[in-house]
């Protein structure tokens, strides 16, 4: 508590500062407008009900605001369900069934609580190289882009019941999609460094307007009955129990690594240049995930896309996150208003997100040809073989190559190589804050 008090004295409260109230409220409204369609798309990609996805974001926002009073992780990060975890969650739904995903999320939060307790997050980026994480996200991004691509020409059920593809109605939807994509990308290029929410505002408004004049497929949000309950699984075999534990561990590690990487970027864009504490962020994450497991929610983290929007919209404290939570809560309980969103507009947003994740591989080039090659291989394997398998294979390949280089090229014995590897974890000052 003394550490938190010292931070507040140096940097001001992370949760509320009266001189920034107007800016924080404005930022919360703008960021929520961008976060709502993004969260809807991620929920669809994860095979979760849309209301559950939105409820997860709202709940994580409230938890993030509460913890900002005494254990701030960052000052302008906006919680949400992560696009990078969407295909992993979808794989979990397909493997374990939606009825067992609450247990998976509960175990994910439990592993994260252990990582938080011992501050192990500072080791993860050493154990799992950044270029492999970027490769993992690139493969996932490609999955997202291809998942939503067909929505650019999808018609309502009544109009699509024909064997002919190039019908006048489908051509109309494709033209609308092309126009929407051009408008969105043009506005993003112009405002990405000043007002990044404008492309989302305009695209959604454009989609709502054109849907009044043309037959396009519209979003339909099914009403969910939220019930609190213990996350007790129903597995019939020992194999499923073991697989579920390892699956939750993978989900926990990827979630933590994404948060650490996001915090490194959030720290750079903080308007008051305040440092981030990734372990405090992890506290908020695992508590949010643990709580979400009791109503069937998803995983969360302070994503860079929403956090960047929050910053550029004028946020200075986590009061903006409280506003985000309140706005999204309104749509959780009034989801009928979301039915005005056309699928083609949602698809443009999600394809854009997927492509940005793929282009993240360009950042790997700074680590050299080896990192770029292995990161690209990880992306290909994640896309073609599987998320878990792709990451494990490239991690093993990286370990084998490193061993060969040290043992054969540098002529070092195995014992020295192992000691060299673990020596990297002895210095506690190397953690990423």
Closest CA to 15 of 288, 262, 329, 323: 323
- 26 closest CA partner among 311, 349, 335, 338: 311
Locate 376 and state its tokens. 């690209």
Task: Give the pLDDT confidence score for residue 412 in this predicted structure.
Answer: 61
In 3-state terms, what secondary structure has residue 302? strand
What per-residue confidence (pLDDT) applies to 428?
Answer: 46
Low-confidence ranges of the chain (pLDDT < 70): 1-11, 125, 158, 160-162, 403, 405-433
Give how far the C-alpha of residue 193 lies from the chain's centroid of Cα atoms, to the nearest Å: 21
Task: Answer positive or negative: Cα dihedral of 342, 49, 134, 399.
Answer: negative
- For residue 28, the model assigns a pLDDT of 94
* pLDDT value at residue 1: 38
Q: Please state the separation of Cα 371 from the chain's center in Å.
A: 23
Residue by residue, DSSP assigns 353-394 as HHHHHHHTHHHHGGG-HHHHHHHHHHHHHHHHT-HHHHHHHH
Rounded to two decimals, what is the model's pTM? 0.85
Output the CA angle 326-330-331, nearest 5 degrees. Answer: 125
- Burial of 351-378, coded b for 16+ CB within 10 Å and e otherwise, reads bbbbebbbebbeebeeeeeebbebbbbb
pLDDT of 4 reads 45
Instruction: Return the SS3 of 47.
Output: coil
Phi and psi at residue 159, to the nearest 5° = -90, -15
Instruction: Report the alpha-carbon distance of residue 48 to residue 89 in Å, rounded.
Output: 8
- Are 298 and 48 in contact by the 8 Å Cβ rule? The answer is yes
Q: Where are the domains of the chain?
A: 2-359, 369-430
């Amino acid at each position: 508590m003394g550490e938190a008090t010292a931070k507040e004295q140096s940097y001001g409260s992370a949760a509320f500062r009266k001189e920034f109230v107007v800016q924080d409220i404005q930022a919360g409204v703008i960021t929520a407008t961008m976060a709502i369609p993004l969260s809807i798309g991620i929920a669809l990609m994860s095979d979760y009900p849309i209301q559950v996805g939105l409820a997860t974001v709202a709940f994580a926002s409230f938890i993030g605001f509460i913890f900002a009073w005494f254990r701030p992780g960052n000052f302008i990060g906006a919680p949400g369900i992560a696009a990078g975890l969407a295909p992993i969650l979808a794989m979990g739904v397909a493997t374990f069934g939606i009825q067992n995903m609450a247990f998976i999320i509960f175990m994910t939060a439990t592993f994260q609580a252990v990582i938080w307790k011992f501050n192990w997050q500072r080791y993860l980026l050493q154990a799992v190289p950044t270029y492999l994480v970027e490769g993992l996200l690139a493969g996932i991004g490609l999955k997202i882009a291809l998942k939503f691509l067909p929505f650019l020409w999808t018609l309502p059920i009544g109009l699509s019941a024909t064997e002919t593809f190039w019908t006048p109605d489908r051509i109309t939807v494709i033209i609308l999609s092309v126009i929407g994509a051009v408008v969105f990308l043009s506005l993003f290029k112009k405002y990405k460094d000043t007002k990044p929410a404008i492309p989302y505002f305009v695209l959604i408004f454009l989609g709502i307007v054109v849907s009044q004049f043309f037959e396009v497929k519209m979003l339909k949000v099914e009403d969910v009955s939220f019930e609190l309950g213990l996350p007790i699984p129903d597995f019939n075999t020992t194999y499923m129990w073991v697989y579920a534990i390892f699956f939750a561990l993978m989900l926990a590690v990827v979630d933590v690594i994404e948060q650490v990487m996001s915090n490194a970027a959030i720290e750079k864009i903080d308007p008051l240049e305040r440092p981030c504490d990734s372990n405090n962020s992890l506290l908020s994450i695992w508590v949010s995930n643990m709580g979400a497991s009791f109503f069937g929610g998803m995983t969360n983290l302070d994503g860079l896309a929403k956090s960047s929007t929050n910053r550029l919209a004028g946020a200075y404290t986590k009061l903006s996150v409280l506003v985000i939570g309140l706005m999204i809560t309104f749509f959780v309980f009034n989801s009928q208003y979301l039915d005005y969103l056309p699928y083609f507009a949602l698809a443009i947003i999600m394809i854009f997100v997927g492509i940005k994740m793929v282009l993240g591989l360009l950042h790997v080039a700074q680590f050299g040809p080896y990192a770029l090659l292995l990161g690209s291989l990880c992306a290909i394997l994640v896309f073609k073989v599987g998320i878990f398998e792709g990451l494990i294979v490239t991690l093993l390949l990286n370990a084998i190559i490193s061993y060969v280089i040290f043992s054969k090229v540098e002529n070092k014995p195995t014992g020295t190589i192992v000691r060299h590897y673990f020596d990297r974890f002895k210095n506690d000052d190397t953690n990423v804050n």
